[in-house]
Chain A
Amino acid sequence: MSSSTSTAWKGHKLILALALGLLGSFALAQDVTLQVPAGLIAGNAATIGTNGSGSATFYLVGPAASIKREVELGREISLAAKDLQAAGRYVAVVCSSNCTSQVFFVAPGKPVDLSFIVHPSRAPVAENEAISGVALTFDEFRNLVVTPSTVQFQWSTKGSNPMSRSSQTREGIAWFRTSSGKTAGPLQISAAIGNDVSTRRVVQQVASIPCNLRIKGQRTAKGILVETEPIRDCSGNPVPDGTVVTFTARDGAKMSTVDAPVKQDVARATILAKGPVTISAASGVAMGNELRLSGKE
């Protein structure tokens, strides 16, 4: 090897050595380790072990908070219960001359809270699978409990025996579906885990579409006063006040209509017509009888 080549090769070796040295410096500096205990549960205090000596800065980054604290290496780092309330993924970092990190998970606690969503808030009576509910299990700190739990659903109306169904949660969720009853009124629905945790909701079962619409009428000084008989649905429940009934009167080539609301089970309207007139009524898809009145004398 010539001297110039040898000199150049020495220079390259120096550069290579520097590069490897830098890489090596990282390896040499990774001498602080963190010992995180397994099986951490939300809301429970914990300690993280460290080795080495000297002071360092400790960071904890979690789903709902971050911490920065000065610590002594070689001693345990205490984490308060409130530092670990949120279930999820945490990163613990200790930095002295360089930084070391450790990833760990905090699991939810046992289920002590339920979110219970029921639909609809108003359900027509006698409708198949009209009502459904979803229950979600949470721990004390509103972490979703994904381990299976048994949720007991129960529903009842006034004066009737309660019905119930059990369901196992999957990924923190249990659900049910049921048909509405035949009687209008409040339906109480509850979801419970064990004897200590329960939530209640109310669904108003309301009358379905009007059925058997019948009308009667007579001429008065102001016009023809027409009214319905008490309007009920096909299960016998009175339709709610405010339900609109459309009265139609045909008088030769002319037609008159009035959209009148039901009040105390009956809808009433006044129609102006002088000659012979045929009157009918409709509400929703229910059609009533026809009423024929002779002309005004």
Chain B
Amino acid sequence: MKRTLPIVIAIATVTVFLMFVGLTSVGQSRGTVGINSGGALPGFSSDTSTPEKALNNFLLDVQKRNWGRAFANTDRTSDAINEQSFIQDWVGSSGGLRSFSALEHFDTRPLHATDSEAQIRVHLHWTTPVGPVEDVRDFRLRHHDDSWKVVWDETPRPNVPAQIVPVNYLRWDLVTGNGSDEWGAHNVDAPHVRIVSMNAVDSSEGVVIMGEVVNEDTVPAFVNVNAILLNGNGGTIDDESSFDKILHVLLPKQVSPYRVDFPHISLSKIKNVRMDVKATLVPASSDPVIGVMNQKLETDAQGHTVLHGELMNESGETVNIPHVIASFYDNSGKVVWVSDGYVEKALLPQSTEAFAVEIPQSVAGKVQNFHVVVNQYSLERS
């Protein structure tokens, strides 16, 4: 007992010390070679003598949620911008993905600077419940009274006017029945779902199996696609599922792209691919109807090919976390790529929200057409 007590005290002391270090040093931006990173000082510096330092301090305040100080260091372009809308822009609202996210770190790259104005590109790295999300944003800074301030021109989202939206969406309920166990008496078949295309390609991260699946039945189906890679002997190399890269609930006659990733595997090792689609009956709803507007393939400022567009919520229910899945086709109609991306802001009723998904440069040249579907998660339905 005499020997144990000092050991316990020592362990407790070290643990508390490590916790303190961990908590106080959290949120330090990490560096990328060739790109300035945020200052890694635990103690905050109020130096805004250069655009880089001013932006760095601003983003550190955002990271630590020091909203008052961050807002004070902005140069607002409109009186409509208040601290509340500024905070909402960063933390999200209405149960959107941003509401559950945290800014893990950021990387800055100065684009240009004069004595009075500067522009800096920032890669914001968020941790979210659906995995890491990267957001690229260009910040403008202005020089005022010997200090640099971040120009804040984000207009608040327009309020959705009060209105009555009839709830007449279609719903399907599933009744399991409580009858006898007689063989053949409870004959309700699983939905008939079919894989209509499959394409296996090598990518920089491994093998990707992609294609489309259709619900040929007259009832909704919960769908999952699995792929098994086989070698020359018929043995299994690996098997994976589509996870969230598929529209899981398919209404009758609805088509969804799917994508199955096999990291660190090369196509040259694969002799055959066995596809398996599992469909089960589920309660479902055809609401909300989400339109995908103004879709356009463009090259962004970083030279990446990106599909931009806007999601429009045609229903009366908030879509908390929209998830966009896009399939890209070549001139023969073959699926050459499937991309997906989560929209960080909630999609309010009767309103729109922008989205963007990237496609690899190796594939971009082949793309002739595309189709976007929207997965969605609503807190009210969970």
Contact = CB atoms under 8 A, between A and B. Distances in A.
Contact of B291 (A117, A242, A270): A270
Nearest to A286: B253
A257 interface: yes
A210 interface: yes
Given A253-B296, A258-B289, A119 B187 contact: yes
What class of interface size applies to chain B in its complex with A?
Answer: 35 or more
Given A117-B183, A121-B188, A258 B291 contact: yes
A122 B189 contact: yes
A264 B382 CA distance: 28
Interface in B286-316: 286, 289-296, 309-310, 312, 314
Interface string A191-212: 0000000000100001101100
A247 B92 CA distance: 31
A159 B137 CA distance: 67
A206 B352 CA distance: 36
B372 A272 contact: no
A283 B253 contact: yes
B293 A271 contact: yes
Interface string A90-134: 000000000000000000000000011111111000000000000
Contacts of A269: 289, 291, 314
A253 B265 CA distance: 38
A200 to B, nearest CB: 10
A116 B170 contact: no
Contacts of B169: 261
B253 A263 contact: no
Interface string B164-191: 0000111010000000001110011100
Contacts of B218: 122, 206-207, 240, 242-243
B184 A255 contact: no
B279 to A, nearest CB: 13
B271 interface: no
B189 A121 contact: yes
B289 A201 contact: no
Nearest to B214: A284
Contacts of B150: none
Contacts of A115: 182-184
Of the candidates A117, A206, A255, the one having the most CB atoms from chain B within 10 angstroms of its own CB is: A255
Given A115-B184, A207-B218, A256 B292 contact: yes
B296 A261 contact: no
A270 to B, nearest CB: 6
Interface in B212-229: 214, 216-220
A273 B370 CA distance: 19
B292 A242 contact: no
Contact of A263 (B170, B312, B352, B370): B170
Interface of A: 115-122, 201, 206-207, 209-210, 240-244, 251, 253-261, 263, 269-273, 283-284
Interface of B: 168-170, 172, 182-184, 187-189, 192, 214, 216-220, 251-254, 286, 289-296, 309-310, 312, 314, 352, 370-373
25 contacts: A117-B183, A118-B187, A119-B189, A122-B217, A201-B184, A242-B170, A242-B172, A242-B252, A243-B251, A244-B251, A255-B370, A256-B294, A256-B295, A257-B292, A259-B254, A259-B290, A259-B373, A261-B169, A261-B170, A261-B286, A269-B291, A272-B294, A273-B293, A284-B214, A284-B216
